[in-house]
Amino acid sequence: MKALAAAALVLFGLPALAQATQEAKPLEPGREALAIPYEKYTLPNGLEVILSVDRKLPIVSVNVWYHVGAYHEQPGRTGFAHLFEHMMFQGSRNVADDVHISMLEQLGATDLNGTTSFDRTNYFETVPTHHLETALWLESDRMGFLLDALTPEKLATQKEVVKNERRQGTEAAPYGLAQEEAWHALFPLPHPYHGSVIGSMKDLDAGTVDDVKDFFRQWYAPSNATLAVVGDFDVAKTKALIEKYFGSLPSHPKPAKPQVAPVKHTKPVVIRFEERVATLPLLSVQWLTPGYFENGDATADVLATVLGTGKASRLYRRLVLEKQLAQSVTVVQQSQGAQSVFSIDVTARPGVSTDALLKEVDAVLEDVRKNGITPEEIQRARTRIDTRMLAGLQSIGGFGGKADVLQSYNHFVGEPSYVAQDLARYESVTPEVVKQFTRDTLRPDARVILHAVPAPRKQAPAESKERH
């Protein structure tokens, strides 16, 4: 579910669909529970609607994806899609300022939030069944009438809130600024992934009320949104409610998707960063990899699991258990639309240099390039991925719950229940495929290497005796 939750994609000529042409095959025995029954239709104003009934509890999730994210921002306005997301909670024509969240909380809503990634923005809440209409009313009012209630004061306050969010997550967070610098290096300008989703302080300060209005008019139309309702509800009544609240919202043709050339690195970028917050050195090695659902994405996911999930994984075993040079290892294929990022993060033990860690990481990768990985390792990774997917379907809403799963597949391939095809991608991963991927894509000369090392005075000693 990591990829589903984190990712978002712009479907330039649907690059992934070479794989999708295989017919939706029935799920294997033991996997039937992964199939999600759903109904999808489109209102005349272009709003897509996905309905999926799940009666296990008397709750229902309302989840709206707008097919716009940080990818669609203008230069000098990084962080705008996310700042705008905050404005969507600040009231609209018929919903008073600051009421949206409070009202839902008071009804007993759970899993209530909004999130922004590079390629999409979503809003969601899970409510007791008898409050479904209220949730639809709230979502439709901000989809249709946000600008009626927009004021410069509200924008000014939310800029401050977001700047605090940025301080908390970036400036004052361990490795926050260091990782941001690595990200900038991965996607040089003018690639629209260059900026952080949260944006820069300078750009946040620069955003104007007119920017908010333009952004809303361009991207926040029914034609660029998908509404999912998942849980315990009456289908006919809900369709009528959706028609009532969303049917008359004006729209315009779905906006065109920007076309961007992929980034290719031909020589390594090395960043040495003096870390001010964290107390242990971090080595982060990152590559650009194929986008979500493209050929190689599933391979990268399996390899990430083999290298870094669990104590027996290759990097953890060597660096943490055997050589005791590292404190922790995290390996992730961050699947996203235009291009994904494969990263290996290793936190050093006190006194261990990040250069020493890099040597070890390279030795492990070289072994994979030469000898591949074992069928057992691939099988374990697949079982983990299966279990993870099934577990993701337990919640109807929230981060990565059933509504998000339907939305994500819909966003990427236009097919809300794509689980069987998604899993099929993993069936085609073999030791040979992994070996080839590591050779071709995880190249030593096509990566960003970050050494985030605390300034000497900040680096606490390993032995407590030396402290006062």
Partner 1 sequence: MRRLITALVSLSLAGCASQQKPAPTEPTPAPAPSTPAAPADAEAFRATAPQPGKPPELVLPAFQKATLDNGLTVLVSTRRELPLVYAGIVFAAGSAQDPVGKPGLADLTYRMLLEGAGTRDTVALDNALGDLGTSAMQDVSPDGSRLGVRVLTRNLDGALALLSDMALRPTFAPKAFERRKKQQLADLVRRLGSPNALGQLVFLSSTFGSTHPYGHSATGTPDSVQSLTLEDVQGFYKKQVGPAAAALVLTGDISLEDAVALARKHLGGWKAPAALPPAPPAPPASTRQVVYVVPKPGLDQTVMMLGRPAIAAGNPDEFALDLATTVFGGFFGSRLNMNLREDKGYSYGAGAGIDPRLGVGPLTAATSVRADVTGPALGETMKELNGLKSRPITEKELEAAREGLIRAFPGSFETVEGLGSSASVLFMKRQPLDEYSRTVEGLRTATAAEVQRAAEKYLDPSTLQIVLVGDPLLIQEQVSPLNLGKLMPVEPDTEPGKPRATR
| 214 touches partner 1 (CB under 8 A) | no
| Residue 393 or 433 having the CB closest to partner 1 | 393
Within residues 173-202, the interface with partner 1 by CB under 8 A covers: 174
The least distance separating partner 1 from the CB of residue 98, rounded to whole angstroms, comes to 5
CB nearer to partner 1: give 182 or 413: 413
**Which of 324, 371, 374, 428 is the binder for partner 1 (CB under 8 A)?**
324
Q: Compare residues 185 and 280 and give the one whose CB is closer to partner 1.
A: 280
Q: Which of residues 266-285 bind partner 1 (CB under 8 A)?
A: 276-280
Work out which of 82, 120, 131, 142 binds partner 1, going by CB under 8 A.
Answer: 131
Residue with tokens 């639809």: 136
**C-alpha R_g of the chain:** 23
Q: Which of 9, 10, 225, 249 binds partner 1 (CB under 8 A)?
A: 249
Question: Which amino acid belongs to residue 58?
Answer: P
Phi-psi region of 87 (alpha: psi -120 to 50; beta: other; left: phi over 0): alpha
For residues 375-414, which are near partner 1 according to CB under 8 A? 379-380, 383-384, 386-387, 390-391, 393-396, 401, 413-414
In angstroms, give the least distance from the CB of 323 to partner 1: 11
Q: How far, rounded to the nearest angstrom, does the alpha carbon of residue 324 sit from its chain's CA centroid? A: 32
| Token pair in block for residue 249 | 């919202």
> Which residues within the stretch 292-311 sit at the binding site for partner 1 (CB under 8 A)?
309-311
Give the alpha-carbon dihedral of 320, 280, 340, 389, to 10 degrees: 60
* CA distance linking residue 468 with residue 454, whole number of Å: 20
Stretch 60-99: interaction string toward partner 1, x if CB under 8 A? ---------------------------------xx---x-
**203-221 b/e (C-beta count within 10 Å ≥ 16 → b):** bbebbeeebbeebbeebbb
**Ranges within 97-126 binding partner 1 (CB under 8 A):** 98, 101-103, 105-111, 126
| Residue from 87, 242, 320, 344 in contact with partner 1 (CB under 8 A) | 320
Angstrom distance (rounded) from CA 434 to CA 304: 11
CA distances from 163 to 97, 113, 203 (A): 20, 18, 11
Question: Out of 33, 235, 270, 363, which residue is the one contacting partner 1 (CB under 8 A)?
Answer: 33
Instruction: Select from 12, 18, 28, 42 the one that contacts partner 1 (CB under 8 A).
Output: 42
CA distances for 244 relative to 62, 145, 161, 220, angstroms:
16, 15, 34, 19
How many residues form the binding site for partner 1 (CB under 8 A)? 115
- Asked if residue 456 binds partner 1 (CB under 8 A), the reply is no
Q: How far apart are CA 204 and CA 76, in angstroms?
A: 9
